Amino acid sequence: MDKPSLRPDPDALLAIAQREGRGRLKVFLGAAPGVGKTYQMLNEARRVREGGVDVVVGLAETHGRDDTAAQLRNVEVLPLRKIAYRGQLLKEFDLDLALERRPQVLVLDELAHTNAPGCRHPKRWQDVEELRDAGIEVWTAVNVQHLESLSEDVARIIGIRVQEIVPDHVLTGADIVELIDISPSELLDRVRKGKVYRPVQAALALKGFFREGNLAALRQIALRRLAERVDADLMSYMQANAISGPWPSTDRVLALVGRDATAEEVVRHARRIADALHAPMMALHVEMMGVAQSTSPSPALRLAEQLKAEVEITAARDLPTVVLNFARIHNATHLVIGRGQPSFWRRWLGRTLSAALIRRASAFTLHIVPAPSGVTPRIRQEANGLPRWASWVAVPSFVAITTGLSLWFDGSVPEGGIGMIYLSAVVALAALLGPIAAAAGALLSFLAWDFLFLMPRFTFAMSGIQEVMGAAIFFTVALLLAGTTGTLGRSISTARARLFGMRRLVELSRKLSAAASTGDLLIVIAQEAERLTERPVCVLLPLDGEPVPRAAQPVEAEPDTASMAAARWALARGTRAGFATDALPSADWQFRPMRTANGVVGLLALQMAGLPNMELDAERDRAMNALIDQAAIALERSHLMEEHARISARAEAESLRSALLASIGHDLRTPLTSIRGALETLRISGGGLSDPVRQDLLTTAEEETIRLTRYLGNVIDIVRLEAGQVEPKRQPIDIGDAVRVAADRVSRRTGRLIDCQVQEHLPMLRLDATLLDQVLANLLDNAAKFSAPATQILIEAGRMDADVFVAVEDRGVGIPPNHLVQIFDPFFRVKRGDAAPAGSGLGLAICRGLIHAMGGRIAAESPIEDGRGTRITVHLPA
177-209 per-position pLDDT tens digit: 888 888 888 888 877 777 777 666 666 667 667
pLDDT band at 481 (very low <50, low <70, confident <90, very high): low
**Residue 503 domain flag:** no
- Spatial separation of the C-alpha atoms in residues 326 and 347, rounded to whole Å: 25
Mark whether 312 and 236 lie in a shared domain: no
- What integer pLDDT is reported at residue 381 of this predicted model? 42
| Sheet bearing 803-810, strands edge to edge | 754-758, 793-800, 803-810, 870-877, 857-861
pLDDT recorded at residue 603: 93
Are 352 and 359 a contacting pair, CB within 8 Å? no
The residue with greater pLDDT, 532 or 242, is 532
Shared-domain flag, residues 761 and 740: yes
pLDDT in tens, 201-234: 666 667 667 777 777 878 888 887 777 777 666 6
Outline where DSSP puts E strands in 33-136: 55-59, 76-77, 81-85, 88-92, 105-108
Q: What is the pLDDT of residue 385?
A: 46
Does 667 reside within a domain? Answer: no
Q: 3-state class of 608 per DSSP?
A: coil
| Rounded Cα–Cα distance for residues 481 and 869 (Å) | 90
- Asked if residue 698 is part of any domain, the answer here is no
Helix axis angle for 769-785 and 843-853, nearest 10°, is: 150
Same domain, 272 and 162: no
Percent of the chain with pLDDT over 70: 74
**Same domain, yes or no, for 22 and 110?**
yes
646 inside domain = no
Q: Are 9 and 329 in contact (CB under 8 A)?
A: yes
Mean pLDDT of 400-415: 77
3-state SS, 234-295, equals: HHHHHHHCCCCCCCCCCCCEEEECCCCCCHHHHHHHHHHHHHHHCCCEEEEEEEECCCCCCC
Tell whether the model's pLDDT for residue 470 goes beyond 80. Answer: no
pLDDT tens digits, one per residue of 606-658: 998 777 666 777 667 777 888 888 888 888 888 888 888 778 777 766 665 66
Q: Helix, strand, coil % (nearest 5) of the chain?
A: 50, 20, 30
pLDDT of residue 28: 92
Where do runs of H (alpha helix) occur along 21-84?
37-50, 66-70
CB 52 within 8 Å of CB 197: no
Provide the number of structural domains found in the chain.
5
Domain that holds residue 149: 10-240
- Burial readout 864-873 (b: 16 or more C-beta within 10 A, e: otherwise): eeeeebbbbb
Q: Of 724, 698, 722, 718, which Cα lies nearest the Cα of 778?
A: 718
The arithmetic mean of pLDDT across residues 292-317, rounded, is: 71
The per-residue pLDDT for range 483-519, each reduced to its tens digit, is 565 555 556 656 665 665 666 667 777 777 777 778 8
Nearest to 715 by CA among 827, 573, 634, 594: 827
The more confident residue out of 505 and 851 is 851
Is pLDDT of 294 > 60? no
Q: Would you state the pLDDT for residue 540?
A: 93
Task: Supply the DSSP symbol for 339.
Answer: -
SS3 578: strand
Note whether residue 682 is domain-resident.
Answer: no
- Check whether residue 52 and residue 183 sit in a common domain: yes
657 in a domain, yes or no? Answer: no
* pLDDT at residue 834, as a whole number: 43
CA 422 to chain centroid, in Å, comes to 58
70 and 170 in a single domain? The answer is yes
What is the structure's pLDDT at 605?
Answer: 93
CATH number at residue 546: 3.30.450.40
Query: Rounded CA gap, 815 and 819, in Å?
Result: 7
Q: Are residues 350 and 398 in the same domain?
A: no
Q: Looking at beta carbons, which pairs linking 540-545 to residues 24 or more positions away fall under 8 Å?
A: 540/567, 540/571, 540/591, 540/602, 540/603, 540/604, 540/605, 541/601, 541/602, 541/603, 541/635, 542/571, 542/600, 542/601, 542/602, 545/571, 545/572
pLDDT at 872 over 70: yes
- Count of positions (residues) in the chain: 878
Residue 837 sits at φ, ψ, to 5 deg, of: -60, 150
Q: Confidence class of residue 760 from pLDDT cuts 50, 70 and 90?
A: confident
* pLDDT of 837 over the 60 cut: no
Residue 667 Cα to chain centre, angstroms: 47
Cα 859 from chain centroid (whole Å): 43
- pLDDT-derived band at 32, boundaries 50, 70, 90: confident
Select from 199, 230, 196, 210 the least CA-distant residue to 38: 196
Query: How much is the pLDDT for 742?
Result: 86
The answer to whether position 485 is within a domain reads no
Q: What does the pLDDT average to over 162-183? A: 84
Q: Which is more confidently placed, 581 or 12?
A: 581
* pLDDT at residue 295, as a whole number: 41
Alpha helices in 105-262 (DSSP H): 124-133, 151-158, 168-172, 184-192, 199-207, 212-240
Confidence of residue 415 (pLDDT cuts 50, 70, 90): low
Read off the DSSP letter of residue 133. Answer: H
Radius of gyration for the chain, computed over Cα atoms and rounded to the nearest angstrom? 42
Query: What's 688's DSSP letter?
Result: G
Buried (b) or exposed (e) across 591-606, using 16+ Cβ within 10 A? bbbbbeeeebbbbbbb
871 and 770 in one domain? yes
> End of a domain among 186, 209, 240?
240
What SS3 class is residue 691?
Answer: helix
pLDDT recorded at residue 500: 59
pLDDT band of residue 724 (cuts 50, 70, 90) is low
* 232, 257: one domain: no
User: Residues 486, 288: contact at Cβ < 8 Å?
Assistant: no
Q: What is the CATH number of the domain that holds 279?
A: 3.40.50.620
* Interatomic CA distance for residues 717 and 732, integer angstroms: 23
Q: What's the pLDDT at 431?
A: 64
Other Cβ atoms closer than 10 A to 579: 22
Minimum mean pLDDT among 22-36, 130-144, 600-614, 686-700: which range?
Answer: 686-700
Beta strands in 505-619 (DSSP E): 537-543, 546-553, 577-578, 589-596, 599-607
Question: Average pLDDT for residues 835-861, to the nearest whole number?
Answer: 73
Indicate if the pLDDT at residue 432 is higher than 80: no
CA atoms within 13 A of residue 60's CA, in its CB half-sphere? 30
Mean residue pLDDT of the chain comes to 77
pLDDT in tens, 247-285: 555 788 999 988 777 788 888 889 889 888 878 898 998
Mean pLDDT of 659-673: 62
359 and 418 in a common domain: no
Q: pLDDT value at position 626?
A: 82
**Chain centroid to CA 435:** 46
Enter the pTM of the model. 0.42
* CATH code: domain of residue 185: 3.40.50.300
Question: Is the domain of 632 the same as that of 781?
Answer: no
User: Per mean pLDDT, which of 506-510, 559-563, 582-586 is the most reliable?
Assistant: 559-563
Task: Tell me whether residue 507 is in a domain.
Answer: no
Q: Which of 199-203, 240-244, 317-321, 408-412 has the highest mean pLDDT?
A: 317-321
Q: Report how far residue 226's alpha carbon sits from residue 27's, in angstroms, rounded to the nearest whole number.
A: 11
Residues 437, 538, single domain; the answer is: no
What SS3 class is residue 567?
helix
Picking from 200, 216, 240, the residue at the C-terminal end of a domain is 240
pLDDT tens per residue across span 309-364: 888 888 777 788 888 888 887 778 889 998 766 655 555 555 677 788 888 777 78
Collect contacts of 595-600 with beta carbons under 8 A, ≥24 apart.
595/632, 596/632, 596/633, 596/636, 598/636, 599/574, 600/542, 600/570, 600/571, 600/574
